[in-house]
Chains A and B, each alone.
Chain A
Amino acid sequence: MILILLRKSAMLLLSAVILLLLTFWFHVRSNDLGDQDLFLRFLIYLNRILRLDFGFSAQSSRPVSGEFLEYGAATAELCLAAMIPSLAAGFFLGCFAALHKDRWLDSAITNSSIMFSSIPVFWIAQIFIALLAVRVDWIPSNGRISLLYSTEQITGFILVDTLLRDGFGDSFLNALTHFILPVLSLSILPTTEMIRIVRNSLYSVMQQNYIKAAFSRGWSSWYIIYRHGLRNAMPSILAQCGSVLFLTFTSVIIVENVYNWPGVGTWIIEAIRSGDVNVVNAYLVLVGMLFVVLNISLEFAADLSIIYLNHPGRGRSTPS
């Protein structure tokens, strides 16, 4: 346990250093620092990053880290709202598909998830606008909240803010309707990816002899999935969960740009278009670090789940 933790933190440290070297290359290239003492510059750069000082945005002349927090809250809210239902739905659909392997339910789920994963998110988002916001004017498709309501920030999460200010009033409902289309288009890809991961991991477990033995004892299939299937499939599912996060973080950039959601995605695209290198650099550092930490903690969770889910009471056995 301690050994795994040490190994993972060494990995974390090394990946972080390599990531910082990558972003430092970007920093040097974008600021024309090629002729200076690079080692000294790197130390200065490292010092600034450790103090979370990314300079000022060229567009708004405000500190970049403050702006990142503000936009990051909007993005985090959208990502959470899309990921929680899609992870749950993908998980159950994947379990269904693995249970009904090679029958029509499995092929229906698998084939439709292949179809949906082939649709570019920017396209389906616009089709949603065309059908649900233009053709029948049911749902708003622009921004986080109607301009009629005050946008004073308390926590940065708009649903929480409106709830705190007005309770279950008009402004909360208005913010909620603004969520529908972005969440709908953002949740498609993570769901399909989750279905694929859960189905494949669970299916290879369900082929084992101990599962057949469990079936022959007359247990219900969902109990077997809970008792034997998921416990053994969990390490492989957890280890692959990173790709779900990746997909969500890539598509949230696009979704925000289609729906004018004032989050990190619109912010970074605007910065790239106007050559605002401080913003791009901060984005690369912060998002890269977020991914490094998420990836390694998922690997750590996968290792832990090998120990604790399979051998209850035998916590000291080492994973292979």
Chain B
Amino acid sequence: MSEEKDTSRGQGFIQVLHSNWMAWYAMWFLVAYFLLVAGSMAFIDLNPYDQQTMDFFRPPRISFSFSQGLSKFILGTDDLGRDVYARLIYGARNTFLYALAAAVISSLAGGLVGFLSALYSSRLLNIIRILVSSVRSYTPVILAFAIITVLGPSLKNAAVAIAVSLIPRFTLICHEITTSEMKKEYIRAVMLDGAGTLAMFRLSLFPNIRDVLIIQFTKHFSMAILDLTALGFLGLSAEAQEPELGSMIAENMDMLYTGNYWIIAIPGVAIISFVIAINILSDGIRNALHRENL
């Protein structure tokens, strides 16, 4: 088993993914998803705000004729006559971009604090641990309550709240990985060779914990998506007309009782497929690397 571990260490990221077919397809699914959103925004004239006064609440219908091309509202319109496909594409862009920003900010800040405290100071760690354990007692959604009551609901504030409340988790994880890796012999050997702390970190420590960081990042990304959509559903992230996947579900909640399930199902499937793909990807990387204790 240790031999397998060593070979996978030497391989590139793509080969690691290729060894797990589910992760491989998940990656291609994410690429296709990105191309669909980006391509629709670039090449199709979509307007998520425009209300069709004649076409309220049309069910989805895909028809194609050579004279007219694809039918106009392939995913139908909602109860205000807005194009569901346009709202879906723009909502997906908003949701996933802001969630990505929250994940990136929290992992950068958390990583910085975690590495610094692990590499340089043990006393700093105690202070950080107390800070972390008190900030950790707010889940992203609950911290967002405070920030949004003060600053007002918007996607940016929701993303900030999620980023802030994910920082402690990432800090602790980075710290734990670094301290456990620092005890190993190869680090000691590098230090005995006379490498400074920074050189040791850059040349030997970081390449060895990079995979773990990637896995943790994907995990935080999927958590950020779920929290952001939950805030959108509670009406605390996107402003009134702005398309967002969670608030799309909340807007059309009443339509459930008329028996038109598609209007709830479409944004839900958009969220779930994306999050499942990310989770399978991170799980596949983890299995390929034989990193079980994460």
Residues of A participating in the B interface, judged by any CB pair closer than 8 Å: 11, 14-16, 18-19, 22-23, 26, 29-30, 110, 114-115, 117-123, 126-127, 129-130, 134-135, 200, 203-204, 246, 249-250, 253-254, 257-258, 268-269, 272-273, 275, 277, 280, 283-284, 287-288, 291-292, 295-296
Contact = CB atoms under 8 A, between A and B. Distances in A.
A288 B268 contact: no
Interface in B183-228: 222, 226-227
B148 A272 contact: yes
Contacts of B271: 120, 123
Contacts of A130: 256, 261, 264
A123 B249 contact: yes
Contact of B145 (A14, A16, A203, A272): A272
Interface of B: 130-131, 133-142, 145-146, 148-150, 222, 226-227, 229-230, 233-236, 246, 249-250, 253, 256-257, 259, 261, 264-265, 268, 271-272, 275-276, 279-280, 283, 292-294
B237 to A, nearest CB: 12
Contact of A123 (B137, B236, B259, B272): B272
B279 A118 contact: yes
Contacts of A22: 134-135, 146
Given A18-B134, A130-B261, A120 B229 contact: yes
Contacts of B264: 123, 126-127, 130
22 contacts: A14-B134, A18-B130, A19-B134, A114-B280, A118-B226, A119-B272, A120-B230, A121-B230, A126-B264, A126-B268, A127-B265, A200-B293, A250-B141, A250-B142, A250-B227, A253-B234, A269-B236, A272-B149, A277-B149, A287-B142, A295-B133, A295-B137
Nearest to A114: B279
Contacts of B279: 114, 117-118
B41 to A, nearest CB: 24
Contacts of A134: 256-257, 259
Q: Which of B226, B253, B265 has the most CB atoms of chain A within a 10 A radius of its CB?
A: B226
Contacts of A288: 134, 137-138, 142
Given A30-B149, A117-B279, A120-B268, A15 B137 contact: yes
